[in-house]
Amino acid sequence: MGCRERAAKSELLRIVADGDACVPDPRGTLPGRGAYVHPASVCLDLAVRRRAFPRAFKAKGPFDPAAVQRFVERVTP
């Protein structure tokens, strides 16, 4: 979604809309429409700049990606 590169599903981070916020779903078990990005801040920043979350969730935005950014910063070395 961010960098638009193809990758295996296991290499990507699923993100789900929860109200007006984006929530990381690393286990892939949360209900709702999901969007996939690489677990890297560069890819997430590209998705935010391109306003990709409202299109992916088919909902009106904007969505707050703060929780996903904190998760990505914690996971990536």
- The full set of domains in the chain, from first to last, is 9-75 (3.30.1230.10)
pLDDT digits (tens, 9 = 90+) for 28-77: 999 999 999 999 999 999 999 999 999 999 998 789 999 999 999 998 77
pLDDT confidence of residue 16: 96
- Global pTM? 0.89
Residue pointed to by tokens 């709702």:
32
Is omega for the bond preceding 62 within 30 degrees of 0, making it cis? yes
Nearest to 40 by CA among 72, 77, 1: 72
Position 15 pLDDT exceeds 90: yes
CA 58 and chain centroid, separation: 14
Q: Where are the alpha helices (DSSP H) in the chain?
A: 41-49, 52-57, 66-75
